Amino acid sequence: MNIGNGRLIRIVCLIGVLGTGSCKKWLDLKPQDGIVSTAFWKTKEEVAAEVIGCYSSLLAPPPSGNGSNDRSLTEYLFMWGELRGDMITLGPGASSEEVDVTNVNTLPTNSITRWTAAYRTINYCNTVIDYAPGVLKQDPTFTQASLNEYLAEVRSLRALMYFYLVRVFGDVPLKLTSTTADADLQQLPKTAQKDVLAQIVKDLSESEANAVTTFGDKVSDKGRITKYTISSIQADVYLWMDDYNDALTACNKVINSGKFGLIQGNGNWFTTLFYLGNSNEGIFEFQYAAPVNNPFYLMLESPSRRYLASGYVSTDVYNFDSNNPLNADIRGDGASLLFGDGTIWKYVGINSSTALLQGSYYTHWFVYRYADILLMKAEAEANLNNGADALSIINIIRTRANALPATALTPDPTDVNAVSDYILAERAREFAFEGKRWFDLLRFAKRNNYARLDILLDLVTRSVESDRQQSAIAKYKDFNSHYLPINAGEINSDPSLKQNPFYN
């Protein structure tokens, strides 16, 4: 008996020791997949990967974890820029939420008002801004100069995201610090649009000095933020702020660099500019490439697609020459859309007749291209009372595209309104379905304290169901309705965030 006794006690002791003696270490477990932050931010390669990650987030929601079931940013940008415009109509797969937005009837519960995709990228940028400087101490091969280049990229990208947000929502919370732990979570009030714009201007001008002019390869030059991308964003921001001199200066920086030009308007124009992408005309394009598809198959091409080109686009925006079908605006049939069935073709076609194969939708999303710079310059010139200069730029664009005489206007160069209308119409033709239409309309309409509100009121007749037009016009007369409501989910989780006026 005694034998068992002693042996058992020893075994029990052993179990006890194993169980408790080293339990401090025993409970300390680390994940095997994913890098733990304490082990991160040590080398310049990690900084580079994290900067690239900011761009990657533009293409699709993150593969796992937070936000993985969100729409891609590109999809939001398309919806925000086109749903309230007059260029699209809804297809068979459109949801009632989309119907509501086109009819100027957006409720705060509408998921199209979710801004998380943009803020996710902002947080990635903020993370680089907060942690990359610390790597200087860790990695002696990491230089201040290359740190500054990286920071210029992410701060500009952050500025671009905020620029989209202020145009869609008006006043938005301005978060400039990263969220990495639960202690970083904040509940912010909204920041006034002008203050957000001031931050955007500040970020852009500070970045401009450090940004590179080239990364050495074409893909990065078009897919990442260079000095010229910054100038392009600046031009857009200044136009939005009605600061025409600065807008003009910014446009001229891009033009004078001599690095960009218009792609010749021949039979290869569509394929070169859109299908292949990264052309001489491109300034900043979201670099969709295998294996990540852009979201447009389900939106524009599948049998249950959600969007079609509005009938008005073929008849009024581009028009056609019934005597000579070959004499056509190259941007119209077989480029922006198919006149036949209204398919939005820009992201679907390889050339004017062949469609992409499902699963290989790699057409880029075009944020800025050279034509935009030219027309932004025209807009600045027009508002600086250089109407003639503006008209000559419009003509460069029209000539390249073989725009039809039926769409030509002959405004008095001194009539700012008339020239502006022409620019707006030309922008519709040039940037059809590139997610710019609503922002253009609103920018022109709000100028000089909403002197051109008629632009939006006229829009209603083209974009809203006939029985809802009166109500939509009444709504647009309240300037607050030009911005989308803040999503109910955001309001709910932040008591200090007030709903946008109109939507209370």
Partner 1 sequence: MKIFYYSLLLSGLLLLQGICVHAQHAGLVTGVGTIIRGKVLDKEKKPVHGVNVTEVDADKRIIHGTTTDVEGNFALHITSPKNVVSFTIVGYKPFTEKIGDKTYFNVSLELGSIDMSEAIVINTRRSDNGLVSIPEKDLTIASAHINAKVMEEMQATSIDQALQGRIAGVDITANSGDPGAGMQIRIRGTTSINATSNPLVVVDGMPYSTTIPSDFNFGTADDQGYASLINIAPSDIKDITILKDAAATAMWGSQAANGVILINTKRGSVGKPVITYTFKGTVAQQPSSIPLLNGDQYSTLIAQEYINGNNGRPLNTQTQAPALAYDPSDPYNYYNFGQNTDWVKAITQLGWTNNHNISMSGGGEKARYFASLDYLKQTGTTIGTDLTRTTARINLDYNVSDRIRFRSDLAYTNTNNDRNYVNGSSSTADGIRNIAYNKMPDMSIYAYDQYGNLTPNYFSPASTLQGQYTTNASTSTYNPVAMALYGRNNILTRRVTPHFNLQYDVIPSVLQLTSDAQFDINATKNKQFLPEIATGLASTDPLYNKTYDGDIDEFIVQTKTTLAYTPTLKNDKNSFMAFLSLQTSDDKSIEQQAASSNTASSLLQDPSVPSNTTTSSAALSASSTETRTIGAVLDAQYNLLDRYILNAGIRGDGNSRFGPSNRYGLFPSLSGRWRISGESFMQHLNFAKKINDLSLRFSYGESGNAPTTDYSFYNTYSTFQYSYAGQAGLYPSQIGLNNLRWETVAGKNLGVNIVLFNRKVDLDVEFYQDRTYNLFFPNLSIPGYNGFSAVNLNVGTMDNQGFEINLNLQPYRSKDWTVDFTVNLAKNENIIRTISPFFPASNTGNATGNGLYKSFLQINNPLGSIYGFKYQGVYKDQASTIAKDAKGAPIVDPSGNPINMTYSYPSVNYQFQPGDAIYKDVNHDGNINYIDQVYLGNSTPKLTGGFGPTITFKGKWKLSGFFNFRYGYDVENTTKMTTTNEYGYNNQSTAVLRRWQKPGDATDIPRALYQSGYNWLGSSRYVEDASFLRFRTLTLRYTIPPQTLKRLKIKALSAYVTAENLITWTKYTGQDPEVTLPGGNPFAVPTDVSVTPPPKMLTLGLTASF
Structure tokens at 219: 């893909």
Nearer to partner 1, 126 or 210 (CB): 126
Q: At its nearest, how many Å lie between partner 1 and the CB of residue 35? A: 5
Q: At its nearest, how many Å lie between partner 1 and the CB of residue 55? A: 5
Q: At its nearest, how many Å lie between partner 1 and the CB of residue 391? A: 38
Listing DSSP states for 322-390 in one string gives SS-TTS--TTTBTTTB-TTT--B-TTTBSSSSPBPPTT---PPEEEEEHHHHHHHHHHHHHHTT-HHHH
Nearer to partner 1, 178 or 402 (CB): 178
d(CA 31, CA 54): 23
Q: At its nearest, how many Å lie between partner 1 and the CB of residue 436? A: 23
Nearer to partner 1, 303 or 325 (CB): 303
Nearer to partner 1, 272 or 471 (CB): 471
Do 211 and 233 touch, CB atoms closer than 8 A? no
Listing DSSP states for 272-292 in one string gives IIIII---TTEEEEE---TTP
Backbone angles phi, psi at 307, to 5 degrees: -130, 140
Do 488 and 106 touch, CB atoms closer than 8 A? no
- The CA–CA distances, whole Å, from 220 to 127, 226, 228, 229, 284 equal 21, 9, 13, 12, 9
Q: At its nearest, how many Å lie between partner 1 and the CB of residue 34? A: 4
User: What crossing angle do the helices spanning 144-169 and 73-82 adopt, rounded to 10°?
Assistant: 40
Structure tokens at 139: 């990695």
Do 47 and 132 touch, CB atoms closer than 8 A? yes
Q: At its nearest, how many Å lie between partner 1 and the CB of residue 352? A: 21
Q: At its nearest, how many Å lie between partner 1 and the CB of residue 33? A: 5
Nearer to partner 1, 164 or 444 (CB): 164
